[in-house]
């Protein structure tokens, strides 16, 4: 195998592969990246047995072939190499030589047999449905931060993906908060109603440029996604997702409107003195005014007053400030709406005017 490719092109794909490979896996070949060259195209693959990644890019080919090399070492070589084209050449002894063209630099990597590398699952193009990249990325952005990291409750360790009445829905919850987002999707997505691990969703966000569409398919308990020249597949979480309808309030009695940027900055400033274990801040709400307040033991207190639109009774809400900041970073409207019924019941945070997403936050004890 011998081919030449621009450094930036192969470095980008190798960096994506590096996020998938497992250096601690008992199967040594899984720490490697698979390289195959045929008919002027380089196919690069990585796998940890749960997530499979493949990218195909054109190269200047002299000889075809297949091999696998340590992914982290290849990435390190590429990062340290000067800009320009790089030549890859597998010698008769099976080692891979990596040489920046026109430079007196020579790296050699030992390889492992490619027949031990996991096969990449095949999917018929007819199984895919087309989804605008911007829509899918926005859905991920509005939900992924609410995924639970409690492994004893593995049914919440992913984002629930479903389709009903022509709408694609994503929901995530860690039992203290819930993030909900929908988008219109005319084609039927067969096999919807699954829990998707966050790892593949994070990778999809990185792959998407925001232009055009991606292809989505669910088959054999796997999520399969094609983004331009990259294809990625992940196993799904085999569990029953909680009934989200029971968590979402049908109505709220009170509502306040506040400037999104103002509230975000106030939370950041006040949180300097927040107690880090509970992360609790108080929202003191009265007619026309919202006060963000926190106390850090014997160290001190912080408070900031904001103007708001509210004409209900005075109330105090205690919340984990991070549960407010996470969705506020993704909401794009100038104002946000905070709706509630009582200080001990679920709170609804949404854009103003309302859009296709909202966030439910469970309050903490005021005392």
- In the prediction, which pLDDT does 314 show? 95
Among the candidates 116, 150, 170, a domain finishes at: 116
- In the prediction, which pLDDT does 269 show? 95
26 vs 58: which has the higher pLDDT = 58
- Which residues, listed in sequence order, are joined to residue 308 by a DSSP beta bridge? 258
Residue 147 forms part of a structural domain: yes
Q: Which of 180-184, 277-281, 356-360 has the lowest mean pLDDT?
A: 277-281
Question: What span, in angstroms and rounded, lies between the C-alpha atoms of 139 and 253?
Answer: 28
Residue 366 forms part of a structural domain: no
Percent of the chain with pLDDT over 90: 80
Residue 215 forms part of a structural domain: yes
Global confidence as pTM: 0.90
Q: Find the domain containing 164 and state its range.
A: 125-245
Give 295's pLDDT tier (boundaries 50, 70, 90).
confident
Tens digits of per-residue pLDDT, 133-154? Answer: 999 999 999 999 999 999 899 9
Specify the CATH number for the domain of residue 354.
3.10.150.10
Same domain, 233 and 130: yes
Same domain, 182 and 165: yes
Same domain, 133 and 238: yes
Residue 69 forms part of a structural domain: yes
Domain total in the chain: 3
Tens digits of per-residue pLDDT, 211-228? Answer: 999 999 998 889 999 999
Residue 187 forms part of a structural domain: yes
Same domain, 356 and 266: yes
Among the candidates 83, 116, 149, a domain finishes at: 116
Residue 156 forms part of a structural domain: yes
Same domain, 24 and 96: yes
Sequence-distant contacts of 322-326: CB under 8 A, at least 24 apart: 322/279, 323/176, 323/177, 323/359, 323/361, 324/263, 324/267, 324/281, 324/349, 324/361, 325/264, 325/267, 325/268, 325/271, 326/145, 326/146
């Amino acid at each position: 195998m011998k081919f030449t490719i621009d450094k930036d092109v192969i470095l980008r794909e190798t960096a994506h592969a590096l996020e998938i490979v497992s250096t601690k896996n008992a199967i040594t070949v899984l720490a490697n990246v698979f390289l195959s060259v045929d008919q002027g195209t380089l196919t690069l693959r990585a796998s940890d047995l749960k997530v499979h990644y493949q990218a195909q890019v054109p190269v200047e080919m002299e000889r075809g072939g297949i091999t696998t090399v340590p992914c982290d070492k290849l990435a390190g070589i590429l990062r340290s190499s000067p800009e320009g084209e790089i030549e890859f050449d597998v010698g008769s002894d099976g080692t891979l030589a990596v040489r920046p063209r026109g430079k007196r630099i020579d790296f050699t990597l030992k390889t492992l047999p490619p027949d031990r590398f996991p096969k990449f699952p095949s999917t018929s193009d007819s199984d895919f449905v087309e989804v605008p990249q911007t829509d899918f990325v926005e859905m991920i952005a509005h939900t992924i931060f609410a995924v639970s990291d409690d492994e004893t409750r593995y049914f919440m360790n992913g984002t629930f993906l479903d389709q009903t009445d022509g709408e694609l829905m994503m929901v995530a919850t860690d039992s203290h908060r819930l993030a909900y987002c929908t988008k219109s999707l005319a084609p039927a997505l067969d096999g919807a109603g699954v829990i998707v691990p966050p790892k593949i969703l994070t990778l999809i966000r990185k792959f998407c440029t925001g232009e055009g569409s991606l292809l989505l398919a669910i088959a054999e308990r796997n999520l399969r996604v094609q983004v331009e020249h990259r294809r990625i597949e992940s196993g799904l979480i085999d569990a029953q997702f909680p009934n989200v309808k029971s968590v979402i309030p049908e109505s709220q009695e009170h509502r306040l409107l506040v400037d999104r940027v103002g509230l975000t900055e106030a939370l950041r400033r006040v949180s300097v003195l927040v107690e880090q274990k509970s992360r609790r801040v108080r929202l003191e709400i009265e007619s026309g005014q919202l006060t963000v307040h926190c106390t850090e033991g014997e160290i001190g207190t912080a408070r900031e007053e904001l103007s708001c639109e509210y004409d209900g009774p005075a109330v105090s809400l205690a919340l984990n400030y991070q549960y407010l900041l996470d969705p506020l970073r993704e909401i794009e409207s100038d104002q946000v709406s905070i709706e509630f019924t009582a200080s001990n019941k679920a709170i609804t945070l949404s854009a103003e005017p309302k859009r296709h997403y909202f966030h439910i936050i469970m309050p903490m004890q005021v005392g």
